[in-house]
Structure 1
Amino acid sequence: MTDGPGTGRGESASADVRPAPPSTPPPPQPAGRALVAMMAFATGAVIANLYYAQPLVDRLAEVFESGSGAVGLVITVTQIGYAIGLATLVPLGDLVERRRLLAVLLGAATLGMAAMAAAPSLAILGAAAAIVGLTSVAVQVIVPFAHVLAADGRQGQVVATVMSGLLLGILLSRTVAGVVAELFGWRAVFVLGALLSAAIAVVLWRTLPTVVPTTRLGYPALLMSVVRLVREEPVLRLRIVYGALTFSTFSVFWTSAGFLLAERPYDWNNAEIGAFALFGVMGALAAKFAGRLADRGWATWTTGFFVLITALSYVLIGAGATSLAALVIGVVLMDMGVQGTHINNQNLIFALRPEARSRLNTAYMVAYFLSASVGSALSAYVYAAHGWIGVSVLGAAFPAVACAVWLAEISLGRRRAA
């Protein structure tokens, strides 16, 4: 269960293969800072499409004369679409030329966002939201692509930069949606998402290099190979556990934070609650150093540090029931721990089998996303039953288990080395 290189096993032969391409272009030049920054911005802007509707639930219920539960289904189908895309579309990054795949996905996401902006009914809004969720998995094609384009010895830094953009998009999307809706109306929020998605599609098409697909497996065999990777790669399984335990705690906090801040002693309005996400941004940016440490071979040890501070952050988060200062410091530490662990995880799994980066990412991100759903559901239930202290205990429990897993990993590694 220690870090290490991949097994080097090639893909099994299959009768369901495509013919090899007639010519092989030279390897791409390492990505410069401008291209890495563009990829980071792209991941943030596209992932935001999944979250724009969340702060607009009350407004959408009023416009479409529906209950909040019906509008909540729009958010649910967006998340379901994203989960399906993770399992069925992201693996295509190993089979289809990535620049072309991104153009198709982002083009469809643009149309989906435009349909949401123009939706005359809640049913059409929901159908368009499903398309947006399905195609916004473009961000999970970009992340392993960034690892491919990074110069040797800088993969960790590049992935950290791109992942910071993604987390910033998640955290800031609600704030942006609230401000834009207040100034220009709710439809303008989805118009903004459509324009950004279209612009990103054009820019990435013009700036990203062409990279030869890394497999000739047929599509059914491609999907089955994801399961085989999980079975054959112990490092992947271990990193799935770390990712699931830490991202679930992220969802535990952010699902119920709005409830806490809307009640006494805070009594914040929607705009103030949305702005609170800026403190989470500080934590996300603070975790960028994880990439540099991963490049130096410290990913195992820094994982222990990150999961520990994630668990300890909930001491402060619990005190945040009455202290804003404690809540702010706690959320900065929590987000830093979650993001740092995630950066370590992706750097290690992408190195296992370079020819299968997209499928490795699929296996990891499906578990990551499902864990967030579990954390969110448990958080809402626990808050209703036990209040903020209950949420804090629940949030601390997940990274506490991750700490125990890390100690077991280190102990086993030492016994094997003895």
Structure 2
Amino acid sequence: MEFHVDSKRHTPVLTKPLLWLITLTNGIVVGNNYYNQPLLGLMAKDFHVSEAAISMIAMLTQIGFATGLLFIVPLGDMIKRKKLILSIFLLIIASLLAMVFAPSLELLYIASFMVGFSSVVPQMLVPLTAELATPEKLNSSIGMVMSGLLLGILLSRVAAGFIGDIWGWQAIYYIAIALMVLFMLLLAFALPDVNPTFQGSYLQLMHSLIHLTKTQPVLRLSALRGALGFAGFSAFWITLVFHLQEAPFHAGSAVAGSFGLIGAVGALAAALVGRISTRVSTYTVILSSIFILLLSWIVFYIGGNSYIGLIAGVILIDLGLQSMHISNQSAFFALNLGATNRLNTVYMFSYFAGGSLGSYLASLAWKYFQWNGVVLTGFCCTLLVLIIHICYDKRPKNFS
């Protein structure tokens, strides 16, 4: 695969084949974090534990991912990206093997954390895309790779659900290991070398995350919106499999996973956000996205006990979250501070910390209040996003 160098920018230019490879890699790698969600019921039976105990796996995977974002992704500004990414692929493969062969729930918890911790490659490829893309193609390129990311999240649930029903929950992890080896080889051949932009020590690199957070109100606001939005999103997907096991559905993991195909409709529609944003303000795009998210929770409340209601809600929640997510990232990447990995670290750490919180709150809500408790949790998280966006987006000085 060829890549070209722009002599004025002194960096390789993002070609279509490379953009497609990055998009596919994002979707494949991020799936590692989500295979467990439609399989929680099967895992609970295999390890003879309760739904609350097995739900910890999903939460620990997200905590692991947030930790990897914090401690690994900033290195992309300090170490050559290609070398770092290929090294992390080896850690991903080892973590997936540990997941398959874990003999106890405690070791499965550790393996789940490590799967999340190592599967942070997409969060280095997104900033790389922002660096390589020309300014006029920045939004559309980010929109494409982020659509690949969300499609990976959704379709991984589909694959895991169906494969788990047929061959057991470990089978999807064997397939994931083979895919990691394949894409590691493809990236070794096609990924360009990009020189790091940070010259200091690792400690100074980590300290710069605090400095960026303190000095960039656009970044802080994007991180808060993303965290709360993903908290509600995670609350829904973590508990969907349990909701579908109850009356009136009495469905298994395959049905829960198949909702990923439905969510893909929203993800694909959100890919248009990158094009629309050139004609509509980011504030308006995000505000519209938040209203779509709020509408999804209303639909879940009214029609959550029917397949039609769940289908409509899934399309809305995926469309709303992905649209807001793309707009958030475009906003802080446009700052052009020469710190794309660190900016993305702050944002995505907040994003998945919010997802972990949403998973935890959802497990409590489900335990005590079942489906209506989960819906209320998601609605309140999204309502907070709306309040923060309206109060601070147009007046960033008030957010400092």
**TM more than 0.5:** yes
| 1:265 positional shift | 2.3
- Let me know the Cα RMSD of the aligned residues: 2.7
Matches within 5 A, 1:141-290: 141-290=124-273
Alignment-mate amino acid for residue 269 of structure 2: A
Instruction: Tell me the residue number matched to 1:94.
Output: 77
The structure with the larger Rg is 1
Q: TM-score, normalised to structure 2's length?
A: 0.89
Once the two structures are superposed, residues 320-375 of structure 1 have per-residue CA deviations (whole angstroms, 9 ceiling, x without a partner) of 23443233222211211111000001111112244111111111111111111222
Instruction: Report percent identity of matched pairs.
Output: 35
CA displacement at 1:212 relative to structure 2: 0.8
The correspondence of residues 71-90 of structure 1 with structure 2, limited to 5 A, is 74-90=57-73
Given candidates 321, 331, 337, the residue that maps to 2:314 is 331
- Aligned mates of 1:387, 1:182 — CA distance in 2: 25
1:140 aligns with 2:123: yes
Distance 1:133 1:335 in 2: 21
Judging changes above 3 Å, is the alpha-carbon distance between structure 1 residues 223 and 199 closer, same or farther for their aligned structure 2 residues?
A: same
C-alpha distance in 2 between matches for 1:269 and 1:202: 36
Q: Which runs of 5+ in 2 are unaligned?
A: 1-6
CA distance change for structure 1 residues 298 and 118 in 2, over 3 Å: closer, same or farther?
same
- Letter paired with 2:363: A
Aligned to 2:4: none
Displacement of 1:198:
1.3
Give structure 1 stretches of 5+ with no counterpart. 1-23
Number of positions where the alignment pairs a residue of Structure 1 with one of Structure 2: 392
Whether 1:309 and 2:289 are equivalent positions in the alignment is no
SS of match in other structure, 2:14: coil
Q: Specify the alignment match of 2:283 in structure 1.
A: 300
Partner of 2:327: 344
Contact kept? 1:157, 1:295, Cα under 8 Å: no
Instruction: Label 1:337 to 1:376 Cα distance change in 2 as closer, same or farther (>3 A).
Output: same
Measured after TM superposition, the shift of residue 389 of structure 1 is: 3.1
Counterpart AA for 2:298: V
| Alpha-carbon separation, structure 2, partners of 1:273 and 1:355 | 42
Q: Relative to 1, partners in 2 of residues 1:301 and 1:118: Cα closer, same or farther, differing over 3 Å?
A: same
Greater mean alpha carbon deviation, residues 89-98 or residues 64-73? 64-73
SS in 1 for 2:339: helix
Letter in 1 for 2:78: L
**Offset, 1:116:** 3.0
C-alpha distance in structure 2 between counterparts of 1:178 and 1:81, whole Å: 22
Amino acid at match of 1:137: V
From 20, 26, 31, the counterpart of 1:37: 20
By how many angstroms is 1:91 displaced? 0.4
Q: Report the CA distance between 1:147 and its aligned residue.
A: 1.0
SS in 1 for 2:199: coil
Point out the more displaced range, 125-134 or 57-66.
57-66
Q: Match for 1:317: what amino acid?
A: F
Q: Displacement of 1:213 after TM fit?
A: 0.5
Shift of 1:118: 4.1
Give 2:11's aligned amino acid: P
Q: 2:343 aligns with which of 314, 335, 360?
A: 360
Q: Distance in 2 between matches of 1:414 and 1:120?
A: 53
